[in-house]
A and B are shown apart, each in its own frame.
Chain A
Amino acid sequence: MDNNPILRIATKILFAPIILFGLYVQFHGDFGPGGGFQAGVIVASAFILYAIVFGLEKGKELFPLSINLFLLALGGILYGGVGIASMMLGDEFLSYNVLGSSQQAGQHIGILLVEFGVGLTVSNVMIALFYAFASFESSNGEKK
């Protein structure tokens, strides 16, 4: 698919707006519809689109598997870390009130970080699954 000029140009034009929209959904989830799950899927779709159009090798050059797997684990750790941080500060697990100067500020910080953790894990699981399926060799040895 990498020699079709329309697909290549359209992908290059669309890539940044998709990421931007993903970030908007991620960090605007407090005020409108959206949140970590949706944003993670949107960001993942940008990288998957790139890998489909330009080929898996180019996709892995843009977003290497090692970074992918690292961020995949980091999302869950970030979520759990927020919980443990609030425990360290003297409240219960995942109780965000102590994270900020006031109760509302603490809740804001906690929700933002937690949603970011969800987004990281979801987007990187999706990208990792696509990489795994696309580079998977079937039992008769033929490659997709």
Chain B
Amino acid sequence: MISELIINAFLVSIMLAIAIALLKARTVIYTVLLTSAYSLVAALMFITLDAVDVAFTEASVGAGISTILFLAAMAFLPKKEEKNVTNQAFPALLCLTLGGVLIWCSFDLPEIGLATSPIHQHIVPEYILGSRDDIGIPNIVTSVLASYRGYDTFGETIVVFTAGIAVLAILKNNKTSLKKIKSQKKVAENGQ
């Protein structure tokens, strides 16, 4: 119990340090790498909560592929961020208030892993027993994700698909419009 507390305190302090460093970061590549590090620490956090599947997803998607895609996309941005000159007192106050309210509410949450807490009473026992008897798969997460909640996962897949083709469509459109601009320029130059 005490070792868990030490590990959690360690991970939270690293996350806090990264968050503060993110506020100070003014170059794009620094921001992207810090976000990636934040995801990796979050993955460790999920492991301490015994959510191995979520940790796996966070490490591969949050820390891995999104960093690469961000870097690939941000090569087209200016290297330095403009210094923010507007007054940040009100947003800071808002964030602190919201954070305080959330922390205050978290005291009312049931203890993590408590068997008598409401979310473990409603449908979870059915899933745990059904995963063994009806589906026959040891990993309950997979049986919930692919079988009990198959509709949701179908929706997620379609969302990923739609997002992908939307980005492709935007970038392709940009390419054709660039070609148009270039050919118009050429026509104008030839006309002169």
Q: Do A and B bind each other?
A: yes
The distance from the CB of B73 to the nearest CB of chain A, in whole angstroms, is 5
Does A45 lie within 8 Å of B65, measured CB to CB?
yes
**Contact B178–A133 (Cβ < 8 Å):** no
Tell me, yes or no, whether B158 is within 8 Å of chain A by CB. Answer: yes
Contact A115 B57 (CB under 8 A): no
Would you call B76 and A138 a contact (CB within 8 A)?
yes
Taking the closest CB of chain A, its distance from the CB of B29, in whole angstroms, is 14
State the CA gap A30–B73 with chains docked (Å).
35
Tally of chain B residues near chain A (CB < 8 A): 47
Indicate whether A32 reaches chain B with its CB closer than 8 angstroms.
yes
Interfacial residues, chain A to chain B (CB-CB below 8 A): 25, 29-35, 37-38, 41-42, 44-45, 48, 52, 72-73, 75-76, 79-80, 83, 94, 96, 103-104, 107-108, 110-111, 114-115, 117-118, 121-122, 124-126, 128-130, 132-134, 136-139, 141, 144
Please report whether the interface of chain B is mostly helix, strand, loop or mixed according to DSSP.
helix
Distance (Å) between the CB of A111 and the closest chain B CB?
A: 4
- Beta-carbon contact of B178 and A31 below 8 Å: no
**Which residues of chain A have C-beta atoms less than 8 A from B151's C-beta?**
94
Interface mask (B154-187 → A, CB under 8 Å = 1, otherwise 0) = 1011101101110110011011001000100000
Stretch at the interface among B19-27, B94-102, B138-146: B138-146
Inter-chain contacts of B125 with A (CB < 8 A):
none
A130 lies within 8 A of B69 (CB): yes
User: 8 A–B contact pairs at CB < 8 A?
Assistant: A31-B137, A33-B52, A72-B164, A111-B143, A121-B160, A122-B160, A132-B171, A136-B175
> Which secondary structure dominates where chain A touches chain B?
helix
Residue B108 lies at the interface, judged by CB distance under 8 Å to chain A: no
Query: Shortest beta-carbon distance, B26 to chain A, in Å?
Result: 21
Could you tell me the distance in whole angstroms from the C-beta of B90 to the nearest C-beta in chain A?
Answer: 35
A34-B146 in contact (CB<8A)? no
Query: Which residues of chain B have C-beta atoms less than 8 A from A75's C-beta?
Result: 157, 161
A141 touches B178 (CB 8 A): yes
Q: Are A41 and B60 in contact (CB under 8 A)?
A: yes
Contact residue among A31, A117, A137, A139 (Cβ-Cβ distance under 8 Å from B139): A31
Q: Which of A32, A111, A121, A133 lies in contact with B72, CB distance below 8 A?
A: A133
Chain B residues in 8 Å Cβ range of A108 = 135-137
Select which of A111, A121, A126 is within 8 A of B65 by beta carbon.
Answer: A126
Inter-chain contact A30/B72, CB cutoff 8 Å: no
